[in-house]
Amino acid sequence: MSYVDRIITDINKKNADQPEFLQAATEVLESLRPVVDSDGKYENAALLERLVEPERIIQFRVPWIDDKGNVQVNRGFRVEFSSAIGPYKGGLRFHPSVNLSIIKFLGFEQIFKNSLTGLPIGGGKGGSDFDPKGKSDNEVMRFCQSFMTELYRHIGPDTDVPAGDIGVGGREIGYLFGQYKRITNAFQGVLTGKGLDWGGSLARTEATGYGLVYLVEEYLKTVGDSFAGKTVAISGSGNVAIFAAQKVQSLGGNVVSMTDSNGYVHHPSGINLDKIKEVKLVQRGRLSDYAKHFSDATHKEVGDGVVWDIPVDIALPCATQNELDLAGAKALIANGVKIVGEGANMPTTQDAADLFIESGVKFFPGKAANAGGVATSALEMSQNSERLSWSFDEVDKMLNRIMVNIYHSIDDAAKLYGQEGNYILGANIAGFRKVAQAMLDQGLV
Ligand code: NDP
Ligand code: 2IT
């Protein structure tokens, strides 16, 4: 049995109840075959055995009191997966679906994504099964304070630096930061995505969505094309989706759809982002409210078709894992899609991703395409360390350069291993190389 096969068998035995983690880890391990099966040094150092096992998992109770005076209890997690190339770095997700499998898959992806940025950040992820939907600001604050009352002892600006993810935006980072500061009596860059007046970086809010579009734009440039005149489907209507849409529009593309957990909106003349921001970010409402404002926009509830049925040139899934399945991929391909770029983490199922690659659709995996968010978080850490803040333009230019570099490093790695255009393989190998070398250099840790 090959080294990779042995590890895949092993992780299936040990993590049988963690389907998302197994999905993410198997995809990476499959890609690494040409690297690790041909060089015994990895097996001799048990490198893969170490790579698939988090350095540390923290799970904790989060008790808080709701507005009616009732005690609520949620589960909190932080998975510190790899510190091979820098402090653990990765977001916090607050969503009722959160469990150890989901946090481990996200933490594992983060190792390779962070490596691809070229910046010194390790991989981690955390979160809670707390559902911010329908909660008052005071309830969210009390939850965040309780969550940080445990988390603070595990994190620090040189140890582990959390940020946002689904359900965690500027409001939540504010409450978390306030509690950290109060407990430790230290004003430090322990979280990223902070407010602009208290240590946040300009362009961090926009970074994941902008970065996704910069990476796809770089690919388009290499084939003499651009976003101008392209029809684009976007899923999600949160942080990543909104700023991806904004950048596509500024480059002359037409974004015709967005989704939330209740359904999707189809707006052929182009999504109005001011209205989306008002409905989703200010009112924290539902996308169905958006459609009421435009005579040519339609809203479909979940179960009544999917967003991937709309004919487009480019699809950017920006909501959540496994939201683009084989049926969605078939519909997109039948309608002539040319490019799929993942703004979310693992939004495409494995069979759907395989079909895109077989069909010649350019498929950019999340760990490369959505790395702009964490890259800009690392730039926020740098600004905090030197106690300076850089202009929007400076940060945006650095973000653009990082995404251009990521495109070329995954393209080069795919070519080097004889699989031109297979950006899944390219991203996994390019991300792995640096982490693996750091682990070998640092001895048995
Ligand atoms: P937000 O919470 O801002 O937005 C999430 C969006 O996705 C909302 O429209 C939400 O709908 C929808 N959504 C979430 N869960 C589900 C679900 N189970 N089914 C259907 N729709 C769902 O999160 P972000 O925009 O920050 O994150 C989106 C994705 O991007 C995630 O996969 C995240 O891991 C990834 N990502 C985020 C980065 C960041 O910097 N924020 C960086 C890199 C990746 P609703 O409003 O109904 O909940
Ligand atoms: O998935 C991700 O890369 C994020 N949610 C951002 C992590 C970060 O530390 O900025």
One domain, residues 40 and 161 = yes
Lowest mean pLDDT among 21-35, 87-101, 280-294: 280-294
One domain, residues 235 and 147 = no
In angstroms, rounded to a whole number, what is the distance separating the alpha carbons of residues 260 and 166? 12
One domain, residues 164 and 232 = no
One domain, residues 109 and 214 = no
Residue 157 has a pLDDT of 98
Distances (CA, A) of 216 to 60, 220, 251, 340, 359: 39, 6, 12, 9, 18
Q: How many angstroms is it from 131 CA to the middle of ligand 1?
A: 13
Query: Looking at 335, 364, 393, which one is the last position of a domain?
Result: 364
In angstroms, rounded to a whole number, what is the distance separating the alpha carbons of residues 111 and 432? 8
Q: Is residue 382 part of a domain?
A: no
Assign 128 a pLDDT band (cuts: 50, 70, 90). Answer: very high
Residue type for position 181? K
At 88, list the tokens.
Answer: 């653990």
In angstroms, rounded to a whole number, what is the distance separating the alpha carbons of residues 407 and 411? 6
At 323, list the tokens.
Answer: 């939201």
Region 162-172: what's the mean pLDDT? 98
Q: Is the CB of 240 under 6 A from ligand 1?
A: yes
Query: Looking at 364, 399, 416, which one is the last position of a domain?
Result: 364
Q: Is residue 9 part of a domain?
A: yes
Residue 15 has a pLDDT of 98
Helix, strand, coil percent content, the chain, rounded in steps of 5: 50, 15, 35
The pLDDT tens digits for 221-280 are 999 999 999 999 999 999 999 999 999 999 999 999 999 999 999 999 999 999 999 999
Q: Is the CB of 102 under 6 A from ligand 1?
A: no
pTM above threshold 0.85: yes
One domain, residues 121 and 182 = yes
- Biggest alpha carbon–alpha carbon distance for the chain: 65
Q: Is residue 430 part of a domain?
A: no
Q: Is the CB of 192 under 6 A from ligand 2?
A: yes
Residue 421 has a pLDDT of 97
Q: Find the radius of gyration of the CA atoms of the chain.
A: 21
Residue 106 has a pLDDT of 99
One domain, residues 211 and 359 = yes
The pLDDT tens digits for 367-393 are 999 999 999 999 999 999 999 999 999
In angstroms, rounded to a whole number, what is the distance separating the alpha carbons of residues 220 and 318? 20
Q: Which stretch of DSSP H or E encloses residue 6?
A: helix 3-14
In angstroms, rounded to a whole number, what is the distance separating the alpha carbons of residues 343 and 242? 11
Assign 428 a pLDDT band (cuts: 50, 70, 90). Answer: very high
One domain, residues 55 and 149 = yes
In angstroms, rounded to a whole number, what is the distance separating the alpha carbons of residues 37 and 122? 25
Q: Is residue 412 part of a domain?
A: no
Active site includes 125?
A: yes
The pLDDT tens digits for 96-127 are 999 999 999 999 999 999 999 999 999 999 99
Q: Is residue 296 part of a domain?
A: yes
Assign 138 a pLDDT band (cuts: 50, 70, 90). Answer: very high
At 214, list the tokens.
Answer: 């910069």
In angstroms, rounded to a whole number, what is the distance separating the alpha carbons of residues 245 and 248? 5
Q: How many CB atoms lie within 10 A of CB 351?
A: 10
Q: Which atom of ligand 1 is nearest to the CA of 345?
A: 32
Catalytic one of 89, 104, 113, 125: 125
Q: Is the CB of 373 under 6 A from ligand 2?
A: yes
Q: What is the dihedral of CA 88, 90, 91, 92, to 10 degrees?
A: -40
* Number of independent structural domains in the chain: 2
Q: Is residue 406 part of a domain?
A: no
In angstroms, rounded to a whole number, what is the distance separating the alpha carbons of residues 365 and 425? 9
Distances (CA, A) of 142 to 136, 191, 271, 288: 10, 18, 35, 30
Residue 156 C-beta-side C-alpha neighbours within 13 Å: 7
Assign 364 a pLDDT band (cuts: 50, 70, 90). Answer: very high
Residue 63 C-beta-side C-alpha neighbours within 13 Å: 3
Domain at 355, CATH number: 3.40.50.720
Assign 55 a pLDDT band (cuts: 50, 70, 90). Answer: very high
Region 434-444: what's the mean pLDDT? 97
Residue 99 has a pLDDT of 98
One domain, residues 297 and 183 = no
Q: Output the average pLDDT for the chain.
A: 98
Q: How many angstroms is it from 295 CA to the middle of ligand 2?
A: 37
In angstroms, rounded to a whole number, what is the distance separating the alpha carbons of residues 362 and 355? 11
Q: Is the CB of 164 under 6 A from ligand 1?
A: yes
Domain membership of residue 338 as a residue range: 205-364
Q: Is residue 337 part of a domain?
A: yes
In angstroms, rounded to a whole number, what is the distance separating the alpha carbons of residues 412 and 133? 43
SS3 138: helix
One domain, residues 292 and 165 = no
Q: Categorise residue 409: left if φ over 0, alpha if ψ from -120 to 50, beta otherwise.
A: alpha
At 184, list the tokens.
Answer: 């430790």
Domain at 88, CATH number: 3.40.50.10860
In angstroms, rounded to a whole number, what is the distance separating the alpha carbons of residues 273 and 232? 14
One domain, residues 145 and 209 = no
Which residue's CA lies nearest to atom 9 of ligand 2? 90
One domain, residues 98 and 213 = no
One domain, residues 151 and 296 = no
Query: Looking at 187, 222, 248, which one is the last position of a domain?
Result: 187
